[in-house]
Amino acid sequence: MAPTSSAPEDPASGAPRPTSADPTRLLPQVSGRHHSLDGIRGFACLMVLVVHVSTETGDALAPGVLGGVLSATALAVPLFFALSGVLLYRPWARAALDGTRGPNVPAYLWRRVMRVFPAYWVVAATALILWAGEHRGSVVHWIEVMTLTFPFNTAPHWAGPGPEGLGQMWSLSVEVTFYLTLPLFAAVLHLWARGGATVHARGRRLLLGLAGLAALSFLALIPQYLPEPAEHMHSWLPRCMGMFAVGMGLAVLSEWAWRERGPDGPVRRFCRTIAGAPGLCWLVAGAFFLLEATPAAGGRFFEPGNLWISLVENATSIGFALFLVAPAALAPPPAPGPPPALRTVRAWRDGAWLDALMRHRVMVFFARISYGVFLWQFVVLYLWRDFTGQEVFTGSFWLDIIPVLAFSTLLGTLTFHGVEEPSRLWSRRFFVSGKGGRRPQPAGPPPR
């Protein structure tokens, strides 16, 4: 942003605007608590709840616009995958751009295990005790569920994407598979990037490699349908890899911008443009959302459809995740102090409304407990529907969503404070922070 020759007043506060801007102040946030991405996680958490409740009541399966819109909230899953790509790949992207060692892999894996499994085990055990039936005493079934390997059972005894009460956990299994394979993907990308002599050449190679990963997610659909349909592969990582790859690409761009020489290079301009136009990006994401609500993107009940429909669905998921997450992932750190109120002019200048919205106390609250809400929602939903005597695909979405949201929120809050946080704090005793390059400081010269 070029310096200005005058200091006009801020319409929201009446205070003079700064006459110049620190170029590094406009660079993407790559460290510290990223409230905008946290807010998107909270938003995705609520979307997941909507699609599950509306599917169980049959509202998402009904013909018409409302049914299509409700079913399209399943696009929350690509949001979770893209967020994981941004946040988890960032230290490896930093190391690849700088030509340094990546993070400590054992420490990284330990943190992921302790982040995912303690709370999951509590919910999984509850669901198995309630609904496993004749398989309650099966050691194999317990091992499959407790290790999140049940999606790899090619002849399951349950209907749908998972055992009763745990139908949403297929996506958690995909996440865990990504966590386990990320160091391998990162190592391959690092070796490929080493062929670049400058940070810009390495950045281009990283993006090219990630584009290849996204392309592989489309190729992975072929063995899912040919020579015979294999619906269980719909719950495996290869099909979803493009959704993680777009997040990883955003991580590369955010770190690359810090290393670009000069205040107005093409990567920095690109990041500023995307961060400054969240409305336009979200409109494009909205177009992908509407496409997902049509039959072109497949059925409304975890139905892969056929190869061509799955290709459209995969492209829709990738596009939606990219354009909804990108403005937050490439945004600069928020200004000191509380976010501006959405009704003020300041909140709508240069796309600041996105940060103001994502830092709203409601979004911050749900971001903190989002994992617990995700884990408990099917248990709460099934118990509620048993209590009210509702059959599957009957009832009213509008009457079920409020109590299910309330009880899922309560259990999610208890799980966060009683399991997630204690597990996280306890796990820190075993590993120090992982190694890896750090973001160059603004006062120093950008590395080449």
DSSP readout, 355-409?
A: HHHHTSHHHHHHHHHHHHHHHHHHHHHHHHHHHHTPPTT-S-HHHHHHHHHHHHH
Q: Is the pLDDT of residue 95 over 70?
A: yes
Cα 136 vs. chain centroid, distance in angstroms?
33
pLDDT band at residue 23 under the 50/70/90 scheme? low
Q: Is the pLDDT of residue 12 over 50?
A: no
C-alpha 124/C-alpha 410 separation (Å) is: 18
Q: Is the pLDDT of residue 433 over 60?
A: no
Structure letter (DSSP) for residue 340: P
User: Are residues 224 and 305 in contact, defined by beta-carbon separation less than 8 angstroms?
Assistant: no
Supply the pLDDT for residue 428: 87
DSSP readout, 269-319?
A: HHHHHHHT-HHHHHHHHHHHHHHHTSGGG--SSS----HHHHHHHHHHHHH
Supply the pLDDT for residue 360: 84
Q: What is the residue type of 27?
A: L
More confident residue, 126 or 64: 126
If you average pLDDT over residues 339-357, what whole number do you get?
68
Mean pLDDT, the chain, whole residue set? 88
Supply the pLDDT for residue 336: 72
Supply the pLDDT for residue 349: 62
Residue 127, C-beta contacts closer than 8 angstroms, at least 6 positions apart: 163, 164, 165, 166, 378, 379
pLDDT band at residue 159 under the 50/70/90 scheme? confident
For the chain, the residue count is 448
Q: Is the pLDDT of residue 436 over 70?
A: no
C-alpha 377/C-alpha 166 separation (Å) is: 9
Q: Is the pLDDT of residue 238 over 50?
A: yes
Is the bond into 227 cis (omega within 30 degrees of 0)?
Answer: yes
If you average pLDDT over residues 293-314, what whole number do you get?
82
C-alpha 353/C-alpha 340 separation (Å) is: 8
Supply the pLDDT for residue 31: 87
pLDDT band at residue 43 under the 50/70/90 scheme? very high
Least confident range from 240-249, 327-336, 350-359: namely 350-359
Provide the terminal-to-terminal Cα distance of the chain, rounded to the nearest Å: 23
If you average pLDDT over residues 120-131, what whole number do you get?
98
Rg (CA), the chain: 23
Residue percentage of the chain with pLDDT more than 70: 86
Highest-confidence range of 86-95, 263-272, 348-357, by mean pLDDT?
86-95
Supply the pLDDT for residue 377: 97
Residue percentage of the chain with pLDDT more than 90: 71
Supply the pLDDT for residue 414: 98
Supply the pLDDT for residue 17: 42
Supply the pLDDT for residue 343: 58
**Pick from 259, 287, 126: nearest CA to 193:** 259
Q: Is the pLDDT of residue 357 over 90?
A: no
If you average pLDDT over residues 169-197, what whole number do you get?
97
If you average pLDDT over residues 128-149, what whole number do you get?
96
Locus of tokens 């709508």: 348
* Per-domain residue ranges of the chain: 30-427
Q: Is the pLDDT of residue 442 over 90?
A: no
Q: Is the pLDDT of residue 248 over 60?
A: yes
More confident residue, 428 or 244: 244
If you average pLDDT over residues 256-282, what whole number do you get?
92
